[in-house]
Amino acid sequence: MDTPSSRSKAPAWFAATKIFETPSRGLAIGQLFDTLGPYLVLGALGVLLARWQVAWYLLIPLGAAGGLFMIRLFILFHDCCHGSFWASRRTNAVWGWFLGMLTFTPFRSWRKSHGTHHAHNGNLDHRGIGDVWTLTLEEYRAATPLRRFQYRLYRNPFFLFLFSPPLVFLVLQRLPDKGADTSSVWSVHTTTLASLVLLVGLGALGGTAFLLFYLLPMVYVGSVVGVWLFYIQHQFDPGYWEHREEWDQYTAALQGSSFYRLPRWAQWFSGNIGFHHIHHLRPRIPNYRLEACWRAVPELQLPHPLTIVSSLKGLRLHLWDEASKRLVGFRRAVNSIPHAFVLSIFRLGVRLT
């Protein structure tokens, strides 16, 4: 990984956030009880209802509820990847692997790609690993028609949020990253094997009805909401992207990572990940201390947090405009073509006809 830019200088108040990095065994155990417990109970209830052959449509809302707990489980897994959930590195690794198996995500492989995302968030010269595919306005204009089509398809909300999330969790995360080291490859394969054993066991207990009407809705809800949360953490107006020479890690954290102010119940299920600017500032702060850090340091209480309503504007933002330094929509790529050029094309068309 690259070292931080020489321009990066910690603000004076940054030291005050350090104390919140200390993990708490009690809080970690409490989160396992209030998250893993309901997750397992809902799954067991789904198996029983399936075995009792209740109407299939009664399993779907139960599976959707399980999906919400799956999101929170993923946040605990995410903290283990950062080594912040427990004080012990080994304990983080063991629980990270176990929670990764429950959320269909390989621990070592995901930890590596996510670490790359943290090291280069907002760096235009280091895109493409662990982040949302983002082109600049000029790159899009210079792209071939095929690449433009691929990018527009990728950025289409129906594809990005309704189709691709379960594909990512169930299929793509079964494949090691290109050039992955041996430990990452084994992480992918052992997680896949353990998940398959779990699925076969659940299928034997609950039958096809459980897999189709409880498990699939659970994965679908969990993956769709999870992908949306990951998307909106860095895809908002104005946002932050700079080339390596100008990139600053602290500015990238505070301006390039959102403060997503959610209703209390949604904040709970999402494991406080809405305080994403703090998480990128101090990745070793566990999720259960993020809000306390936000309350203690006034500089982190950003004046214009995203809300559910305002975050929906992010669906129309697709390209980074280096001139205005903000995310813009595809319309800008068309509307900003020089008027004289458009007029010349029109005149050429008139002559040909």
Residue 353 has pLDDT above 70, yes or no: no
pLDDT of residue 67: 98
Of 256, 242, 233, the closest CA to residue 126 belongs to: 242
What lies within 8 Å, CB to CB, of 44 at 6+ separation is: none
Cα 145 from Cα 276, distance rounded (Å): 35
Half-sphere exposure of 60 (CA within 13 A, CB side): 3
Q: Which residue has the tokens 């000029």?
A: 138
Q: What is the mean pLDDT of residues 240-251?
A: 94
Q: Count of residues for the chain? A: 353
Q: Do residues 57 and 213 make contact, with C-beta atoms less than 8 angstroms apart?
A: yes
Residue 339 has pLDDT above 90, yes or no: no
Residue 216 has pLDDT above 90, yes or no: yes
The 3-state DSSP class for residue 344 equals: helix
Q: What is the mean pLDDT of residues 123-130?
A: 92
Q: Which residue has the tokens 């319309």?
A: 331
Using one digit for the tens of pLDDT, what is the confidence trace for 166-199? 999 999 999 998 888 898 999 999 999 999 999 9
Q: What is the mean pLDDT of residues 120-145?
A: 94
pLDDT of residue 168: 94
The 3-state DSSP class for residue 271 equals: coil
CA 263 vs CA 37, 128, 161, 268: distances in Å = 23, 31, 21, 9
More confident residue, 326 or 337: 326
In this prediction the pTM is: 0.90
pLDDT of residue 345: 44
pLDDT of residue 170: 93
The 3-state DSSP class for residue 273 equals: coil
pLDDT of residue 7: 55
Q: Is 315 exposed, middle or buried (0-12, 13-18, 19+ CB in 10 A)?
A: middle
